[in-house]
Structure formats: structure tokens, C-alpha cells
Structure 1
Amino acid sequence: MWVRELAVSAPGKVILHGEHAVVLGKVALAVALDLRTFLRLRPGAEGRLSVCLPGVGVRRSWDTPRLRALRGRIAADFDESKSPSAEQLDALREFAGIAAGASAPESLATLAFLYMCLAISAKYGDVPSVDIVVWSELPTGAGLGSSAAYAVCLAAALLMVCGAISCPLQEGESTARWTEEELTLINSWAFRGEQVIHGNPSGVDNAVGTWGGALRYQAGKITPLKRVPTLRILLTNTKVPRSTKVLVAGVKEKILKFPAIMNPVLDSIDAISQECQSVLEAMPANPSPEHYPVLEEFFDINQHHLNVLGVGHPSLDRLCQVTALHSLHSKLTGAGGGGCGITLLPPDTSPLAVEAAKQDLCACGFECWETKIGAPGVTLHCCSSLSARVLHELAQS
């Protein structure tokens, strides 16, 4: 029986450099975004497991004997080393009343919850009667790793209540983190959750959510950077919808058409990613203003390269123009074609300049957050240490 009330959080992610080039084997740098997903875990009614996801309108509860019976029927291949099978997912859809092929966020979130709950309990023992509420600061569908942050929180919470990993939070502590070995286990199960939602994810988003900081990704290999400063940014959502699949196909078509022109652009993006990694690892934990001009130049050069690749958009051009009026440097992050952009905020940037830039961006119809990159990965919290806003949102559910 689980007797404590605790919270787990995990960060979102942005791509700092390497968008699109990474698809062709180049280096990408992904960094943890300090907009987080929060999961509150508390003892529940005996014999029931409940989950509430207010962001996507999910409120479900199941009898644990029914879950145990379902697990017994489909658990033969449950393992963190194996992908979810079509047969398992079909059985879970039938159990939850989810139509075949349903791709709405509420359907995928419910399916991921059920899969992870049954798969983890099949290996480590029953999930006890608990109530789980998940609320996120991250917008969904914006390329910011919201589904991975959800999967990481779920993996950490379910593994902990089953006893597969420790509960590292000691009496009197506000936060705690798991050991490297436990983080590796959390990440492996979070990846399975991401597979339920996305089918064939790269694994970058859940790795960022697990370890935080920054990661280097190249040709399927994920390497956490050893030391990364926390940098202030503005994150701006242009709210312009885009298709990552269409944008990636457009880049490939342009490379096939003009290889002698486009391949050097990709090589330059790769060099920016690697040079940026060197700069970040050389910066102290609290960098001073002189470290920023090089990072700002990388933003400017890479944004031009991404426009050359054909993944820019008038909304992103406008974002860069608006922030440039306030002597700030921006670039798109993710697939491009709309979506989100990031703006670097050096430590000597005045609060008035930041506020003026935010107002001008919002006047364009954009959504804007002042936040940080290089944030910590999955974290266990004493609930009383959470901010008033987070506590309010979790309590509303």
C-alpha cells in the first residue's frame, strides 16, 4: 500500500541547434526547458487506480482486479527492452473503449498510461491503489516534448510505487533525484510510453526529460553533456501549425536537387552544433555577459541556414525582427514552418527590455514565456515545496 503524497516533475525540451541536419546524420543539441510537467501521487481508494489528465480531458478509474486480469491475458511480452506489440495495444484499446486508429491526445495519453501501468506491474509487482493527477506547463503539439515529459513522470512514479526504484526524498527535503542506474531504468520505460504515443520516436525527448541539462544526438547515439549552464530565454509559440513530415520531405527534396549547394549548409549547421557544445561546456554554471556574443552569433547564422533549407516562415521572420528591435537574437526551434522560436537573454538584459519584447511578441498574436534552458531532469518533490500555481492546478483536478 502506498501511503505518501508526493509529486514528480520532468522538463520539456527544445532543439538548440541541428534541426533537420540531424535527420541526415549531423549533430543536434537538445536542451531541457524549464517548463515542466507535474504528476501528483497520493494514496487512493482501496482496489482502484485513478488517473486525471485535465490538459487533455481525461478522468478515468479502474478496478485493480480487472487490470490484473488484463495484465495476465497480455503480459507475456511486457518488458522495458521490447517495443509495445500491436496485439497488446489492441487489447488495451478494447479495454479502455478507444477506437482503433484513434490519435487524439486523450486517447494516446490513456493508452500510454495503461500500457506503462500493466507492463511495469508485470515485471515488478502490482501497482498499489493510487490517485494520479498530471498537469503541465507545456503546450501540447508544439514540439516541446510534452508527451515525453508525461511519459517520464509516469515511469518514475509507477516504478517507485512498485518498488523497482527507491523513494529518495528524505524527511525535511523539498526535492530529490534518483541514482544514475535508476534514471536509466526510468528512461527505458519512458521510451516505451513514447512508442505508444508516437510509434517510432528518436528517444531524445524522453532522455532530455530524464537527465535534463543538454544532450548531443547523432546517428541514434545520445550523449548527455557533462556540464551545462542554465541560460535564460524567451520561448515564443507563433501558433502557426506545421507538418514536420512535410517539412522534412521538403528539405530532402532540396538537397537532392542542389546537393553542391545544400550539403555545405548542412555541414555548417553541424559545425555550429559542435562549436556550441564546446562553448556551453566551457561556460561556468553562472556565466557572465562576455560568454553570450558567440552564442548569439550562432543563433543568427543558424537561423539564416534554416531559411536556406526552406523551413522558415513569415511568422518566424517576424519573431526575429521584433526581438532584434530590442537587441535580442532569436532562431526557430524544432521543425520550423511556424511553431516555436527561442530568444537568448544575456544576464545584462534589462527587465524593461524583456517585458517590452514580450509585449511586442504578444501583440503579433504569439504566446510567450520567459523561462530557462539547461533545467534539471526528472525530480521528486515534497508537495508543499511546489509553487502556489502548480498546487492550485493539481488541486483543481
Structure 2
Amino acid sequence: MITEKAPGKLYIAGEYAVVENGYPAILVALDQFVTCTIKDSAREVGQIISQQYTNDQLNWRRMGDRMVVDKRDNPFSYILSAIRITEEYARSFERELRIYDMQIDSQLDSANGRKYGLGSSAAVTVATVKALCHYYHLPVTKDEIFKLAAIAHFEVQGNGSLGDVAASVYGGWISYHSFDRQWLAQQRKYLDLKSLIDLPWPDLKIESLKAPENLELLIGWTGKPASTSQLVDKISLFKARQQDEYHRFLEDSRACIQRMVEGFHQQDLDTIKREIRFNRHLLKQLGTNSGVDIETPVLNRLCQIAEHFGGAAKTSGAGGGDCGIVAIDRSADFKAVLKSWTKEKIEQLPLSVHFIDDIKYTVQEHLPLI
């Protein structure tokens, strides 16, 4: 039996701009996980079961090297894409494909199934890729896992930066520059998967960051889930219609993230807080100009409360609901923030930053070649 897990994530800054090639964002991985467990099936039929979908189960059979799914309309798109991509990669190492049962367990949604906005689709993709790489004993590091999961996720979603995938793979605090997804789509048509994984990807840059010791991260949930894909689509319309304003937003966001990264390098909480506030201003302006409700009234109240007690706050991710984040000094009365949130029916998510050790399945662990 093989078990692997991947953490959820939140954006700290750089949302929307990061969907453009080479533009940066800062994200953090959190200690809530999607877990993927794989074991050999004793039958000719494998199963994929998830507690997220308690009344649903997906059956599949092996026809040669192809997985044939019994249900066409199912909620397992990211899992299936991750399986397909990772098994394609396994074949490049001459692994024999097998039939197995897969169990998916998630901590990234609320008890009643509502999404917190912690990147569950990215985490389930990464957990599935990691588990299958372990199952097939593939010689992968974080870099290969990221690329495999990024391809699998992008082929389902079709938009987005893949920053959430990076956070789930690398863990901790990261600075992420998005790569050229159009280049990826083109190369996917002409290159075999192993060659594509081995290539450097244009504009891709992922850097681990060390947070200042006095930084306390608070996370508030509004109780209203939001659809990242739909919000990104709406901003794309604004981009097409008002190119000059959109370009100014991109450049201002890039400069803001560069200054914030320097704040991490210098261990300067004041710089980080200042740039979080500036990034909030940029996102509010983007929302006003595009007609997209990025900072909802509840998120606005979440931020106002945090600012009153000395924190720097903003929406996290696409906005429109989901979560807000606060950077505050540990010496401040941040418990007063949480008390005031409760009065406004804003739920604190008591999560901590999750760090991930280096991953490498060595050549000595390989199964025999066929």
C-alpha cells in the first residue's frame, strides 16, 4: 500500500497578474491535506473512491495500456488526468501498468462539502501524481512532480497560473513566476512526455522564501465559496477590452511582488505588510475597473477588522468569497482580530504553514524493467 499527501494553499499576493507568463505571486502551503492511497487490486476492476463524493464511485478496467472508465460524467476529472499523465510518464521508464484501487481523502473542504478555497483541485492532482510516482518507483524530484501535476491540472482546467500546484508540491512560502502555458500546449503535441518534463519551461521560476520570525498569518473564511475559473474568465474580458489599464495593473503587481520578496529576504515584516496593503489596493482597483466583485462586503469587513488591530489584510486568490489573509506581528493583539471576526460570522481557519522535505525515489528502488 502506498500513501502520499499534498497540502492546500493560499495566495498571499499577486493574484490575477500571475496568470500572465512570467508574472510573480507569493503563496503559502498549509497543513490541511489531500491524501491518496493506492494498493494493488485483487480483481480485474480497479476502484477510485473518495470521501468527498460519498455516493459516488468510479470503476475502470485495463484494456492494454489504456484505462477505460465505466462512467463518463464523473467528479474525478483531475484524478483521472493525473493518472493518465503519470502513467504515460511511467511507460517512458518501461514500467508495466497495473490495476489498483485508489482512495482519496480530503481535509480541504468544510464538513458540509463547501470549499474553503484552499486549492483542492491542485492538491488532489499533486497527491495522485506523488502516489503513482511512488507506486511505480519513478525517479522524480519536486521539479518533475510539479511538471507532471501542472500538465495534468492544465489539461483539465485550461486556465490559471498553476501556482496552487507549485505550492502543493514545494510547500512552505514560495515565490512563483508562471510559465508559458501556450508553449506547453504546443510542445505537448510534438514532444514525448519525458522530453517535455526534462526541458526547461519558459518563464518558470519557483523560489522558497523564509518568513520573518515575528510574522503571524491569520486566515478568515467568509462562508461563501467562489469559482476561480469563472472569475479569471471575467477578468480576461476586461483584459481584451481595456488593454492599457490591464497592462498597468500587471506592471504594478510585478513591482509590488518584487518588493515583497525583498521583504522576505530582509526578514522585514513592515515591508511585507506594506506591499500586502498595496496589492489589496491593486486588486480592488482591478475589480472596480472590470466589474468583477473581487473584494466582497464580507471580505472588506474582514480586512477592516484586521487593519484596525495593526494587521495587513487582503483577499486571497480570485476573491469573490472564500478566504482573506492577514499578516500581523506576533506581539500584537491578534486574538482581538479573531474575536471581532466571530462577531461578523467570519470563521477563522486555524491552519499553519506546511513545509515539505525533498522528494526523490532513487534508482535502486525501481521495480524490474519489463
Fold shared, TM-score > 0.5 on shorter chain: yes
TM-score, length-scaled by structure 1: 0.68
Maintained 8 Å contact 1:32/1:377 = no
SS in structure 1 opposite 2:318? coil
* Superposed CA offset, 1:359-389 (max 9, x none): 4324433332132347337879xxxxxxxxx
Q: Distance in 1 between matches of 2:222 and 2:231?
A: 17
Maintained 8 Å contact 2:221/2:322 = yes
Q: Which residue pairs with 2:183 in the alignment?
A: none
Q: Which residue pairs with 2:301 in the alignment?
A: 318
Q: Distance in 1 between matches of 2:175 and 2:328?
A: 21
* Superposed CA offset, 1:31-61 (max 9, x none): 2321332425364553464432102337647
- Report how far residue 292 of structure 1 moved: 1.6
Aligned residue among 258, 278, 281 for 2:262: 278
Answer yes or no: is 1:225 the counterpart of 2:221. no
Answer yes or no: is 1:33 the counterpart of 2:38. no
- Within-5 A mapping of 1:1-397: 5=1, 7-24=3-20, 27-39=23-35, 41=37, 43-47=39-43, 49-57=46-54, 60=57, 66-67=61-62, 69=63, 71-72=64-65, 74=66, 92=68, 95-99=69-73, 106-109=75-78, 111-112=80-81, 114-116=83-85, 118-120=87-89, 122-123=91-92, 124-127=94-97, 130-139=100-109, 141-165=115-139, 181-213=140-172, 214-218=174-178, 220=180, 221-229=203-211, 232-244=216-228, 247-248=231-232, 251=235, 264-283=248-267, 291-310=268-287, 311-350=294-333, 353-354=334-335, 356-373=336-353, 375-376=355-356
Q: Measured at CA, do residues 229 and 122 of structure 1 come closer, stay the same or move farther in structure 2, by a change above 3 Å?
A: same
- Report how far residue 204 of structure 1 moved: 2.5
Maintained 8 Å contact 1:303/1:331 = yes
Maintained 8 Å contact 1:7/1:38 = no
- Report how far residue 273 of structure 1 moved: 0.4
Q: Distance in 2 between matches of 1:244 and 1:160?
A: 30
Higher relative contact order (CA 8 A, sep 6+): 1
Structure 1 segments, 4+ long, off by >6 Å, are: 255-262, 377-380
TM-score, length-scaled by structure 2: 0.73
Q: Distance in 2 between matches of 1:256 and 1:245?
A: 17
Q: Distance in 1 between matches of 2:143 and 2:239?
A: 37
Q: Distance in 1 between matches of 2:86 and 2:54?
A: 19
Alignment length (residue pairs): 323
**Percent identical across equivalent pairs?**
20
More helix by share: 1
Unaligned residue ranges in structure 1 (runs of 5+): 75-90, 166-180, 284-290, 381-397
- Report how far residue 265 of structure 1 moved: 4.6
Q: Measured at CA, do residues 61 and 23 of structure 1 come closer, stay the same or move farther in structure 2, by a change above 3 Å?
A: closer
- Report how far residue 336 of structure 1 moved: 1.9
- Report how far residue 155 of structure 1 moved: 1.0
Q: Distance in 2 between matches of 1:258 and 1:129?
A: 51
Aligned partner of 2:223: which letter? K
